[in-house]
Chain A
Amino acid sequence: MTPPGKKRGLVRPYVITDGRAHPTRNTLDLVTLVIAAGGETGGLSPEKRRVMELCRGGSLSVAEVAGHLRIPVSVTKVLLSDLVDSGHIVTRSPIPSAELPEPQILQEVLDGLRARL
């Protein structure tokens, strides 16, 4: 494993974002899912191309993209909002917790199994 820090720190975040710290949109948070929408990646910066490669396989959360790219989340947001603006990716809010199975149902399943054994 490459120790973090050996690789990091070569290309500084201000070069990645071209000096910007404010994302063009404020709709992204840690768990927002991003999905590649296609488009030409030729003219993109290496980091944006990496994002596109990562997102091509499915949806990823903002936090995960940041983790894979090994850049701070706030820097990732700047990149992602650029990509949303240019139409390369689309965002989707996370699955609402209401759709997840309720603890009560799980409890009932457990009780049912117990009753049978």
Chain B
Amino acid sequence: MTRHIPEAVFWCLLAGALAVVILLIRERQISARLRRTVATLEASVRSRDEEIRHLATVRLPALMESGPHQPAGAPGLLHGHLAGSEYAISLKTVSDLFSRSAQAAQARADQSAKAALKASMRTLQGLANEQQLSISEMQDRHDNADVLQDLLAIDHTNSQFGRRAQAIAVLCGSWPGRQRSASSLVDVVRGATSRIRDYRRVQVHAQVDIAIVSRAVEPVVLTVAELLDNAARHSQPNTTVQVNIQPAHNGTAIVIDDAGVGLIEQEIRRATELLSGAGQTVDITRLGDPPQFGFAAIGVLAARYGFSVSVDTRSPYGGVRAVVFLPSALLTRAHDEGPDSVRARPPARHAAPPRPSGPVATEHVAPDDASRTPSADPTPVYASTAGGLPKRRRRQPTAEHTPPAERSAPETPQGRSAQDAAAIIGAFARGTRSGRASSSDHEGNPHT
């Protein structure tokens, strides 16, 4: 019996050892797996840490720098294996929110900058216009060459100042201001010339009688002024700026050539982009320093009024050729507006009815102006001024050699008979006589 006891113990121990070994092996396996998992998790946490640091230090600043308009160039994830994970999606949400809020802030800033600029430029524009009016009045009032010389200088500065304010106001969404009547293209170009510094270098070659419709006059003047200013500014002071007007099939082109340095490829691209007005919302905070308002303002005007401007050709003088193409819709015939052209004004319109004078004709004229005495006054023949005053017609060369004859002629037109004339003079004489009689009777006192 005792022989069996060690055997039993041995087997028990063996079984125990076996169990321990098995347990140990499992333990090892488990711990190895755990270690692997920990390592993976550690790596994952590290990569996420790195990822979020990358977001904070690289991606968001890049987004901030590039601005809201070109998110394509922004850097992506640092670790590609995270793409598609919950984590990456959250990161994307964060960056989207960030760029959206940056966009909103930018838009707000732009809006308020524009509003502030617009309001202040409108004020300046108003003041410049007011001042121009007073300068014009002074030019009319003072007939003195020295005074005029000074006024011309002030006028010139004032016009440039008005144009600057106007361009900025237009860029900020304002209207170009000043309503004008339809004006001939030549006047429009010369009006634009009036608003630049080196106006004496501009030469206008044109003999066309095309006019621009009233609503487009001021925008086109401003556009041409900005182009002329660019042309004059970027060329030598001893060169000229040539302006030609080319009628075309469905419009007219104003061609401005300078002999300056020209534009490089990149500038042309940028200018074309601005001039097309395609940007629609011009970001006034990104016009450079000092800001370049000219092209941007032209782009806004061109888009709004339907003309086109290009600066991508070289002028024959080596500089830039700027072309403003005005479609037929913006054009009209010169002198159509009538009232202002002298040739439309003259006797032809009014002369016919009163000429065959005499009672019938004068009665016909009388309702026109009750205060007028048709028999003694030749004025119904002539046009009148804005203030209702009759306009004097020029003397004919033959008439001026015989002044007395001309003077007496209207007083006794051939149509009036001798009897009529006598009756009128008689009535006049009787009137004065009775007047004198009554006043002398009572020593100037009213008749009682």
With a cutoff of 8 Å between Cβ atoms, the chain B residues found around residue A9 in the complex are 132-133, 136
Q: Kindly identify, within residues 90 to 109 of chain B, every residue whose CB is under 8 Å from any CB belonging to chain A.
A: none
Taking a contact as CB atoms under 8 Å apart, the answer to whether B340 and A11 are in contact is no
In this assembly, does A99 line the interface, its C-beta being within 8 Å of a C-beta of chain B? yes
With a cutoff of 8 Å between Cβ atoms, the chain A residues found around residue B73 in the complex are none
With a cutoff of 8 Å between Cβ atoms, the chain B residues found around residue A95 in the complex are 400, 403
Given A2-B337, A59-B397, A114-B429, do A11 and B342 touch, yes or no (CB 8 Å)? no
Given A59-B394, A95-B400, do A7 and B180 touch, yes or no (CB 8 Å)? yes
B194's partner among A5, A6, A12, A101 (CB-CB below 8 A) is: A12
In this assembly, does B361 line the interface, its C-beta being within 8 Å of a C-beta of chain A? no
In this assembly, does B54 line the interface, its C-beta being within 8 Å of a C-beta of chain A? no
In this assembly, does A73 line the interface, its C-beta being within 8 Å of a C-beta of chain B? yes
A80 shortest CB reach to chain B, Å: 13
Q: Kindly identify, within residues 389 to 427 of chain B, every residue whose CB is under 8 Å from any CB belonging to chain A.
A: 392, 394-397, 400, 403-404, 407, 422, 425-426
A2 to B344 alpha-carbon distance, docked (Å): 13
Taking a contact as CB atoms under 8 Å apart, the answer to whether A13 and B400 are in contact is no
Taking a contact as CB atoms under 8 Å apart, the answer to whether A14 and B343 are in contact is no
B435 shortest CB reach to chain A, Å: 14
A106 shortest CB reach to chain B, Å: 10
Task: List the one stretch of B117-125, B183-191, B233-241, B242-250 in contact with chain A.
Answer: B183-191
Consensus secondary structure, chain B interface: helix
Total residues of chain A contacting the partner, CB 8 A: 45
In this assembly, does A89 line the interface, its C-beta being within 8 Å of a C-beta of chain B? no
Interface size of B as a range: 35 or more
A75 to B191 alpha-carbon distance, docked (Å): 16
Given A72-B148, A75-B148, do A117 and B190 touch, yes or no (CB 8 Å)? no
Taking a contact as CB atoms under 8 Å apart, the answer to whether B145 and A11 are in contact is no
For chains A and B in complex, what number of residue pairs have CB atoms within 8 angstroms?
Answer: 125
B159's partner among A8, A12, A113 (CB-CB below 8 A) is: A12
A10's partner among B133, B147, B191 (CB-CB below 8 A) is: B191
B395's partner among A58, A114, A117 (CB-CB below 8 A) is: A58
A93 shortest CB reach to chain B, Å: 12
In this assembly, does A3 line the interface, its C-beta being within 8 Å of a C-beta of chain B? yes
A7 to B132 alpha-carbon distance, docked (Å): 13
Taking a contact as CB atoms under 8 Å apart, the answer to whether B149 and A22 are in contact is yes
A101's partner among B155, B193, B337, B407 (CB-CB below 8 A) is: B407
Name which of B147, B181, B342 has the most chain A CB atoms within 10 A of its CB: B342
With a cutoff of 8 Å between Cβ atoms, the chain A residues found around residue B407 in the complex are 100-101
Using CB atoms, name the residue of chain B closest to A66. B140
Consensus secondary structure, chain A interface: loop
With a cutoff of 8 Å between Cβ atoms, the chain A residues found around residue B386 in the complex are 1, 3-4
With a cutoff of 8 Å between Cβ atoms, the chain A residues found around residue B85 in the complex are none
Taking a contact as CB atoms under 8 Å apart, the answer to whether A57 and B429 are in contact is no
Taking a contact as CB atoms under 8 Å apart, the answer to whether A21 and B395 are in contact is no
In this assembly, does A19 line the interface, its C-beta being within 8 Å of a C-beta of chain B? yes
With a cutoff of 8 Å between Cβ atoms, the chain B residues found around residue A15 in the complex are 190, 193-194, 199
With a cutoff of 8 Å between Cβ atoms, the chain B residues found around residue A53 in the complex are 342-343
Contact with B along A74-106 (1 / 0, CB 8 A): 110100000000000000000100011100000
In this assembly, does B156 line the interface, its C-beta being within 8 Å of a C-beta of chain A? yes
Can you list 9 pairs linking A and B with CB atoms under 8 Å apart?
A10-B183, A13-B155, A15-B199, A21-B149, A73-B143, A74-B144, A74-B145, A101-B407, A117-B426
Which 3 A-B residue pairs are closest in the complex by CB-CB distance? A21-B149, A12-B194, A10-B191
Q: What residues make up the interface of B, taking CB atoms closer than 8 Å to A?
A: 132-133, 136, 139-140, 142-149, 151-152, 155-156, 159, 179-181, 183-184, 186-188, 190-191, 193-194, 199-200, 217, 221, 337, 339-340, 342-343, 386, 392, 394-397, 400, 403-404, 407, 422, 425-426, 429
Q: What residues make up the interface of A, taking CB atoms closer than 8 Å to B?
A: 1-15, 17-19, 21-23, 30, 35, 46, 50, 53-54, 57-60, 64, 68, 72-75, 77, 95, 99-101, 113-114, 117
